[in-house]
């Protein structure tokens, strides 16, 4: 009898434990989800909800609190897809109140429509998870949709040169993209150029001619009279069914005709120790003020000093800059002066200095010194001769009487 009682008590204890395990979650849940709608479609009315790639999916959650709770929040996430989620701010719940919260998830345009996706909506707090709902999603692409994956080009170009745009276009639609073009335009300069890249399949296929992306190069010639500045370049991929545009900024630095450097004599002969002046004239033919920097080259044995190292020249004006050249030893020297504007080289002007012997002034001084020394020596000799010469004795004739 006693063994049977022990067995009965053990079974009752086991059943109580099992019941407690199943009752605890429901007893501790502070709220329950009443309904979830995705883009206005309730998950209770449809087993699978259809959504479109490249669009924003709106998730509306209705739930009722069964007890007061602090720091509650609603989370919506697509399982297995990092980054495809949204979460509300934390808020307090009042017992018996019904709430609604709307979340948004931006679906990428390149999402794979052949995959099956699950949307999980969870109601939780810092302490526990109250309720959750899982919804099947059917993701589909628009029938005709293009995407520009990348645009590569130089960020700066000189007026009169050609800028190359390397553009990659992808078909992210459900159907084939036929007769697709790419066009590059700068409306402020009135220039445009387009190329043909052909048909794009919705998916890559074994046939190399059937690919969903294609690369093309657009060559856009910048007018030689284009003013220096920043321009917006519009890159467009299009066909008869769809189009897409992106904008890229480039800098046009202006053509070389915007600045001219004119020089006088570039070769001069002078003696060592003498200082001579060279000059060059900078002409700004641009339509706005420009700043120029003059950088003389460094030559051993030659000293070069400029009167102005930086000059600002108004539009349509010119300025002459002089620089002094000195050398302490003979020789033939070739040097250059670089003229820069905006960090770019406008012109590197070459000069020649032929340095020979002493200056004429120095030679004259030496000659004069020698002449004076000779004259002084001659005078000194004459003086010595005069001082050392004995005077003649006077003749004594005596007295004479007639």
pLDDT for the residue 364? 57
Same domain for 129 and 85, yes or no, is yes
CATH of the domain at 227: 2.60.40.10
Token pair for 394: 């006077």
Is there a single domain that holds both residue 116 and residue 152? no
DSSP secondary structure letter of residue 256 = G
**Highest mean pLDDT: which of 1-15, 21-35, 206-220?**
206-220
pLDDT at 75 over 50: yes
| pLDDT at 98 (0 to 100) | 95
Please tell me which residue, 202 or 331, carries the higher pLDDT value: 331
Query: pTM, whole model, 2 decimals?
Result: 0.45
In terms of domains, do 39 and 131 share one?
Answer: yes
The single residue listed with the structure tokens 């990348």 is 150
Cα–Cα dist 87/271, whole Å: 85
Residue 272 has pLDDT above 50, yes or no: yes
pLDDT for 48 = 84
The full DSSP string for 32-87 is EEEEEEETTEETTT-SEEEEETTSEEEEEEEEEESS-EEEEEEEEEETT-TT-EEE
Are 155 and 247 members of one domain? yes
In this prediction, residues 238-256 reach a mean pLDDT of: 85
The pLDDT value given to residue 329: 84
Which residue did the predictor score with more confidence, 102 or 44? 102
User: Do 237 and 182 sit in the same domain of this protein?
Assistant: yes
What number of other Cβ atoms are within 10 A of residue 195's Cβ?
A: 14
Tell me if 401 is assigned to some domain.
no
Residue 347 and residue 258: Cα distance in Å, rounded? Answer: 12
Q: Is the pLDDT of residue 71 over 70?
A: yes
Tens of pLDDT, residue by residue over 134-188, are: 999 988 887 788 889 999 999 888 888 899 999 999 888 778 888 999 999 999 9
Average pLDDT, whole number, for the chain? 81
Q: What is the per-residue pLDDT across 338-348, written as a single tens digit (0 to 9) for each?
A: 988 877 788 88
pLDDT given at position 389 = 58
Q: What is the spatial distance between Cα 49 and Cα 41, in angstroms, rounded to a whole number?
A: 7
Please check whether residues 208 and 308 belong to one and the same domain. no
List, in order, residues 6 or more apart from 318 with CB less than 8 Å away: 281, 282, 283, 284
Closest CA to 33 of 69, 77, 64, 59: 64
In-domain check, residue 380: no
Q: Tell me if 385 is assigned to some domain.
A: no
Binned at pLDDT 50, 70 and 90, residue 382 comes out as low
Residues 262 and 244 in one domain: no
Give the structural domain span for 243: 146-252
| pLDDT tens for each residue of 279-311 | 888 888 777 788 888 998 888 888 888 888 888
Q: In the prediction, which pLDDT does 43 show?
A: 78
Q: List C-alpha distances in Å: 160 to 3, 98, 124, 184, 345.
A: 106, 68, 64, 17, 16
Q: Are residues 35 and 133 in the same domain?
A: yes
Does residue 88 register a pLDDT over 50? Answer: yes
Contacts of 317 (CB under 8 A, 6+ apart): 283, 284
Q: Assign 121 to helix, strand or coil.
A: strand
The CATH number for 42's domain is 2.70.50.60
Asked if residues 226 and 236 have their Cβ atoms less than 8 Å apart, the reply is no
Calculated CA dihedral for residues 167, 168, 170, 176, nearest 10 degrees:
70
Distance CA 250, CA 266 (A): 38
198 located within any domain: yes
- If one compares 113 and 360, the residue with the highest pLDDT of the two is 113
What's the confidence (pLDDT) of residue 139?
A: 85
* Top-confidence residue, 8 or 59: 59
Query: Cα separation of 190 and 220, whole Å?
Result: 11
Q: What angle do CA 375, 379, 380 make, to 5 degrees?
A: 115
Looking at the structure, tell me whether residues 136 and 158 fall in a common domain: no
pLDDT band at residue 323 under the 50/70/90 scheme: confident
The CA–CA distances, whole Å, from 269 to 203, 316, 324, 356, 358 equal 76, 34, 14, 7, 12
The whole-number pLDDT of residue 76 equals: 96
Domains of the chain: total: 3
Instruction: Tell me what pLDDT residue 26 has.
Output: 42
């Amino acid at each position: 009898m006693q063994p049977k009682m022990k067995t009965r008590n053990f079974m009752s204890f086991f059943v109580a434990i099992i019941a407690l395990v199943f009752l605890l979650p429901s007893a501790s849940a502070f709220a329950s989800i009443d309904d979830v709608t995705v883009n206005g479609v309730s998950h209770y009315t449809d087993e699978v909800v259809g959504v479109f790639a490249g669009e924003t999916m709106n998730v509306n959650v209705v739930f009722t609190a069964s007890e007061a709770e602090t720091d509650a929040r609603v989370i919506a996430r697509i399982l297995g897809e990092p980054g495809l989620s949204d979460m509300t701010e934390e808020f307090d719940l009042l017992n018996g109140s019904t709430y609604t919260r709307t979340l948004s998830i931006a679906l990428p345009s390149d999402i794979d429509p052949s995959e099956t996706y699950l949307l999980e909506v969870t109601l939780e707090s810092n302490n526990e998870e109250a309720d959750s709902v899982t919804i099947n999603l059917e993701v589909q692409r628009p029938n005709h949709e293009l995407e520009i994956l990348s645009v590569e080009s130089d960020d700066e170009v000189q007026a009169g040169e050609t800028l190359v745009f390397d553009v990659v276009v992808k078909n992210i639609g459900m159907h084939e993209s036929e007769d697709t073009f790419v066009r590059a335009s700068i409306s402020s300069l009135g220039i445009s150029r387009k190329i043909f890249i052909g048909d794009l399949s919705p998916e890559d296929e074994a046939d190399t001619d059937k690919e969903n992306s294609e690369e093309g190069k657009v060559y856009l010639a910048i007018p030689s009279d284009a003013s220096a500045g920043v321009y917006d370049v519009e890159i467009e991929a299009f066909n008869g069914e769809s189009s897409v545009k992106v904008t890229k900024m480039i800098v046009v630095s202006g053509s070389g005709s915007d600045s001219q450097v004119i020089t006088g004599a570039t070769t001069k002969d002078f003696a060592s120790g003498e200082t001579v002046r060279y000059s060059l004239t900078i002409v700004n033919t641009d339509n706005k003020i420009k700043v120029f920097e003059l950088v003389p080259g460094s030559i051993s044995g030659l000293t070069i000093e400029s009167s102005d190292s930086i000059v600002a020249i108004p539009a349509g004006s010119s300025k002459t800059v002089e620089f002094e050249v000195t050398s302490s030893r003979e020789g033939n020297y070739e040097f250059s002066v670089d003229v820069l504007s905006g960090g770019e080289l406008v012109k590197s002007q070459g000069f020649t200095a032929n340095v020979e012997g002493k200056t004429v002034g120095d030679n004259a001084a030496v000659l004069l010194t020698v002449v004076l020394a000779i004259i002084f020596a001659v005078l000194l000799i004459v003086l010595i001769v005069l001082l050392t010469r004995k005077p003649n004795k006077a003749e004594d004739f005596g007295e004479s009487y007639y």
